[in-house]
């Protein structure tokens, strides 16, 4: 049907204006005949303007409401607008699409209704989004924080249970409404975070906002927003999560009132909420860290302190999780200038009126001065991993750097357990050699195995040699090999080892190819190699090759002043390994340890301390925690020495007294007494006979 011939009363809607509108727009007269139809209407329906003009609107749209609840008919009959009415229309190609409709009336100059106007937009993408979100509603409902999604017009498309609980608004009342109508936040009209995300595509994290609940109560929330995209990457809406921080705000107010108390504390102090965000920060904390409270508050504590325990054994996190206090835990933090500051930490949980944990408080003390003093003392009596204040050991400390810088072979002699391997490792680590540090206990293997371990073997060298295997010398190339208990190897193997030292070359078992060896040799023995050489057991040429630089380590019984230092060292070591907090040993335990002979040297003392750690559940190792065979031995020794004083004949002069005291000191050990007095053992025997000194013989 063609348009009516009379003057078109709707000429007020010029084609230029209508075609500039991005939504579909058309107008009708009182007979529902279309009088204008813009380009967007053509695009959405697939119907050209020439086909639409003059036809009744229901013939063009074929909408599901045309015959029953037509929005345009309702507007023309009542004179009222209809807003956001959802309709399904059928396109020219037969496809059904969802649209959102707004309708209003058109009036003439006399105010009489002469027709109607309808704007509509395709909401297919929105419906697809709604369908997709509806499938994931159960995911949203599992989130503890409030969460909702919106389309590009900020109309809510999903609203989870937590959002209902926080706002008091049911999802059926929220969905379809614009988010600012539901949340009524203080930023809705000015700096809406969700609008920012939808417009820029960027996330907004932890933005503090105040919203109004259904009872008009103001609730502080922490908001995070992100854009929602379709499969093509186009932004089609946004998602917002929000967390009720009312409890946190109450805590902040309480802490604010108590700031003057915190500032009166000499130690650093700060409080955090359950998310470890700092809520107060006192003056001492500012002084120690160099961070102003305005920069600290609101940040997570690990961002401010950057402590060595933040990622693994955070004391404050542990307290908040368990409710238990942590006292005097050591840690190192980084100040504002990235310098390490040693501190001592104590933490407690913060509770609300119902006894629920809502955060934590940490007190920390700068122990730099104390640590510097402790370090100074430690360095004075330590070198690498070796601890001693004995003058003989400290003389060795002084020469170790020079020994390490040289390429000379080193021979270390000392009783088993005296720490020979520690000195060997220290020499390697102080040297400039870039290769590995390889160790081998020569006394632990028979000759056949020892040779293959030292020089390696080739496939087929013997029955089980399925593949080539490099020896210890090959593994230590450009590095250091430590040969412990060198005095236990056979003369045949001594000869092969001599070749390596002289010619710097060796041959693996089963090989005819000579290999070069750039390896520094450090040998050790608990036997006197010179005596073995004199007896013909150890080759003289090998001895002199090994004995370029000789280090003789005294046994622990000759450096008892080291016992307290070593005990303290082992307590620290086993506290870390066994997760205990033992502080020290009792005076009577230290007295027993000081008087023990230590046939097993430092290793024996370490074993004794480890034994005590098994039995001790307090902070101090008591006499009852010592091994049973150690305590009776000490008591028996005391009784034995007392009987000696009674049985000994009167001493005639100072020389006799000196000999007797030396015998007591070394428990009758003739060799040690002679060495201590600087005389030969035969001379000692003669003088004991001269002064009629009777003393049971100790272990030789």
Are 150 and 237 a contacting pair, CB within 8 Å?
yes
Are 427 and 548 a contacting pair, CB within 8 Å?
no
**Interior CA angle at 259 toward 258 and 261, to 5°?**
70
Side-chain half-sphere CA neighbours of 582 within 13 A: 30
- Quote the pLDDT of residue 650: 38
257, pLDDT greater than 50: no
If pLDDT is split at 50, 70 and 90, which confidence band does 255 have?
A: very low
Identify which has the larger pLDDT, 254 or 231. Answer: 231
- Quote the pLDDT of residue 326: 83
Sign of CA dihedral 245, 247, 253, 259: negative
Return the SS3 of 699: coil
- Quote the pLDDT of residue 651: 38
Summarize pLDDT for 272-299 with one digit per residue, the tens.
Answer: 998 999 988 888 888 888 889 888 989 9
- Quote the pLDDT of residue 634: 45
d(CA 437, CA 519): 10
pTM recorded for the entire structure = 0.41
Q: HEC states along 91-118?
A: CCCCCEEEEEEEEEEEECCCCCEEEEEE
- Quote the pLDDT of residue 635: 43
CA-to-CA dists, residue 123 to 81, 97, 101, 119, 194, angstroms: 20, 8, 10, 13, 20
- Quote the pLDDT of residue 374: 55
* Burial class of residue 347, CB neighbours in 10 A (0-12, 13-18, 19+): buried
d(CA 519, CA 479): 5
Mean pLDDT of the chain: 81
Summarize pLDDT for 17-56 with one digit per residue, the tens.
Answer: 677 777 889 899 988 899 888 888 898 888 898 999 999 9
Summarize pLDDT for 504-530 with one digit per residue, the tens.
Answer: 888 888 887 888 989 999 999 998 999
Portion of the chain with pLDDT greater than 90, in percent: 14
If pLDDT is split at 50, 70 and 90, which confidence band does 352 have?
A: confident
The token pair at 69 is 């609840």
Summarize pLDDT for 190-211 with one digit per residue, the tens.
Answer: 788 899 899 998 888 877 888 8
If pLDDT is split at 50, 70 and 90, which confidence band does 252 have?
A: low
Are 480 and 427 a contacting pair, CB within 8 Å?
yes
648, pLDDT greater than 50: no
Are 154 and 162 a contacting pair, CB within 8 Å?
no
Are 114 and 107 a contacting pair, CB within 8 Å?
yes
CA-to-CA dists, residue 394 to 264, 397, 451, 554, 680, angstroms: 47, 5, 36, 12, 27
- Quote the pLDDT of residue 439: 92
What average pLDDT does this structure show over 336-361? Answer: 84
663, pLDDT greater than 90: no
- How much is the CA Rg of the chain, to the nearest whole Å? 45
d(CA 8, CA 35): 8
Helices (H) and strands (E) in the chain, counts: 32, 28
68, pLDDT greater than 80: no
What average pLDDT does this structure show over 228-248? Answer: 84
- H/E element holding 26? strand 24-29
Weakest-pLDDT range from 54-63, 159-168, 187-196, 660-669: 660-669
250, pLDDT greater than 90: no
What average pLDDT does this structure show over 364-387? Answer: 63
Identify which has the larger pLDDT, 544 or 95. Answer: 544
Q: HEC states along 588-651?
A: HHHHHHHHCCCCCHHHHHHHHHHHHHHHCCCCEECHHHCCCCHHHHHHHHHHHHHHHHHHCCCC
d(CA 557, CA 286): 51
Summarize pLDDT for 82-108 with one digit per residue, the tens.
Answer: 887 778 888 877 788 888 888 888 888
- Quote the pLDDT of residue 700: 46
Identify which has the larger pLDDT, 1 or 459. Answer: 459
- Quote the pLDDT of residue 639: 43
What average pLDDT does this structure show over 571-577? Answer: 89
If pLDDT is split at 50, 70 and 90, which confidence band does 457 have?
A: confident
Q: What are residue 661's phi and psi, to 5 degrees?
A: -65, -35
* Burial class of residue 213, CB neighbours in 10 A (0-12, 13-18, 19+): middle
132, pLDDT greater than 60: no
What does DSSP assign to residue 187? Answer: T
If pLDDT is split at 50, 70 and 90, which confidence band does 649 have?
A: very low
The token pair at 140 is 């949203």
What average pLDDT does this structure show over 307-329? Answer: 83
The token pair at 535 is 């007896």
What does DSSP assign to residue 555? Answer: P
Identify which has the larger pLDDT, 338 or 699. Answer: 338
- Quote the pLDDT of residue 190: 77
CA neighbor of 52 nearest in space, from 83, 18, 75: 18
What does DSSP assign to residue 560? Answer: G
Identify which has the larger pLDDT, 653 or 85. Answer: 85
């Amino acid at each position: 049907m063609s348009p009516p011939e009379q003057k078109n009363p709707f000429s007020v809607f010029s084609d230029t204006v209508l075609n500039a509108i991005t939504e579909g727009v058309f107008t009708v007269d009182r007979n529902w005949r279309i009088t204008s139809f813009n380009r967007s209407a053509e695009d959405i329906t697939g119907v050209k303007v020439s086909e639409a003009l003059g036809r009744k609107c229901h013939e063009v749209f074929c909408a599901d409401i045309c015959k029953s609840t037509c929005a345009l008919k309702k507007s023309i009959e009542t004179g009222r607008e209809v807003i956001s009415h959802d309709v399904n229309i059928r396109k020219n190609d037969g496809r059904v699409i969802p649209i959102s409709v707004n309708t209003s009336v058109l009036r003439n100059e006399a105010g009489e209704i002469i027709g109607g106007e309808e704007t509509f937009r395709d909401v297919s993408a929105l419906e697809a989004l709604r369908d997709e979100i509806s499938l994931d509603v159960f995911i949203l409902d599992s989130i503890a924080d409030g969460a909702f999604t919106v389309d590009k017009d900020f109309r809510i498309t999903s609203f989870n249970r937590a959002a209902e609980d926080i706002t008091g608004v049911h999802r059926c009342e929220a969905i379809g409404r614009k988010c600012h109508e539901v949340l009524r936040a203080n930023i809705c009209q000015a700096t809406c975070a969700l609008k920012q995300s939808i417009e820029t595509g960027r996330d907004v994290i932890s933005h503090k906002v105040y919203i109004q609940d259904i009872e008009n109560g103001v609730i502080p929330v922490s908001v995070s927003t992100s854009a929602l995209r379709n499969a093509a990457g186009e932004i089609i809406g946004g998602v917002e999560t929000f967390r009720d921080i009312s409890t946190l705000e109450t805590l902040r107010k309480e802490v604010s009132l108590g700031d003057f108390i915190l500032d009166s504390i000499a130690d650093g102090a700060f409080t955090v909420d359950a998310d470890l965000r700092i809520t107060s920060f006192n003056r001492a904390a500012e002084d120690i860290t160099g961070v102003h409270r305005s920069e600290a508050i609101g940040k997570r504590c690990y961002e401010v302190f950057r402590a060595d325990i933040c990622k693994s054994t955070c004391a404050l996190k542990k307290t908040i999780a368990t409710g238990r206090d942590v006292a005097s835990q050591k840690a190192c933090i980084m100040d504002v200038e990235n310098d390490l500051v040693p501190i001592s930490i104590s933490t407690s949980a913060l509770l609300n009126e119902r006894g629920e944990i809502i955060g934590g408080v940490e007190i920390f003390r700068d122990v730099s001065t104390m640590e510097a003093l402790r370090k100074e003392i430690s360095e004075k009596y330590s070198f690498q991993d070796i601890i001693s204040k004995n003058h003989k050991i400290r003389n060795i400390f002084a020469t170790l750097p020079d020994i390490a810088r040289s390429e000379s072979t080193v021979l270390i002699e000392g009783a088993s357990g005296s720490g020979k391997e520690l000195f060997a490792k220290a020499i390697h680590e102080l040297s400039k050699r870039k290769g590995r540090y390889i160790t081998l206990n020569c006394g632990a293997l028979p000759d056949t195995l020892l040779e293959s371990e030292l020089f390696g073997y080739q496939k087929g060298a013997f029955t089980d040699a399925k593949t080539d295997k490099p020896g210890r010398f090959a593994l230590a190339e450009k590095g250091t090999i430590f040969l412990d208990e060198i005095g236990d190897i056979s003369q045949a193997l001594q000869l092969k080892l001599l070749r390596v030292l002289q010619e710097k070359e060796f041959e693996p078992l089963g090989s005819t190819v000579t290999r070069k060896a750039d390896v520094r040799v450090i040998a050790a023995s608990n036997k006197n190699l010179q005596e073995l050489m004199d007896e013909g057991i150890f080759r003289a040429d090998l001895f002199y090759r090994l004995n370029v630089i000789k280090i003789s380590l005294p046994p622990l019984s000759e450096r008892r002043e080291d016992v307290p230092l070593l005990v303290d060292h082992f307590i620290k070591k086993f506290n870390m390994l066994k997760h205990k907090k033992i502080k020290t040993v009792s005076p009577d335990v230290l007295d027993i340890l000081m008087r023990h002979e230590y046939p097993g040297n430092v290793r024996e003392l370490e074993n004794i301390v480890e034994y005590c750690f098994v039995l001790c559940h307090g902070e101090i190792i008591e006499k009852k925690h010592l091994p049973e065979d150690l305590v009776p031995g000490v008591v028996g020794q005391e009784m034995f020495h007392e009987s000696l004083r009674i049985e000994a004949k009167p001493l005639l002069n100072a020389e006799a007294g000196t000999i007797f005291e030396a015998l007591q000191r070394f428990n009758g050990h003739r060799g040690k007494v002679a060495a201590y007095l600087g005389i030969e053992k035969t001379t000692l025997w003669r003088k004991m006979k001269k002064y009629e000194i009777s003393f049971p013989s100790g272990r030789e």
